[in-house]
Copies of this chain bind each other. A is one copy, B any other.
Amino acid sequence: MYYLGMARTPTTADVFNAVGDAHRRAILETIGGRELGVGELVDALALPQPQVSKHLRVLRDVGLVHCDRVGRRRVYRVHGEALRPIHEWVARFEQLWNDRYDQLDDLLVEMQKGKG
């Protein structure tokens, strides 16, 4: 009989996966709050240019970076909001090791009440 199913879950190129790679994380860290061209990333990370470009492509596809064309350069910046799913997912487990944020949430609620 022939093989029909998928061999592995199609890595729905999602944010969790994109951040799973150390080089991709390094790229995001290097860009930080700045706007960097590919060449600057290549210099900073000491990686071959095609590799950086391909990682940037992945990050772009999941919305983690945005890109502007400036002359013949491509200027990349981090779109931090794309990390929100990760933040919220991790937050679901946070209380299992740290209740500080729950305290803070309560506090915030109180503050809002006081202000209103």
The residues of A with any CB-CB pair to B shorter than 8 Å are 9, 12, 14, 16-17, 19-23, 25, 28-29, 33, 78-81, 83-84, 86-87, 89-98, 100-101, 104, 107-108, 111
Contacts and interface: CB of A to CB of B under 8 A. Distances in A.
A82 to B, nearest CB: 8
A33 B96 contact: yes
Contact of A107 (B14, B98, B104): B104
The prevalent SS among residues of A at the interface is helix
Given A12-B22, A23-B9, A25-B16, A80 B108 contact: no
A19 B22 contact: no
B96 A80 contact: yes
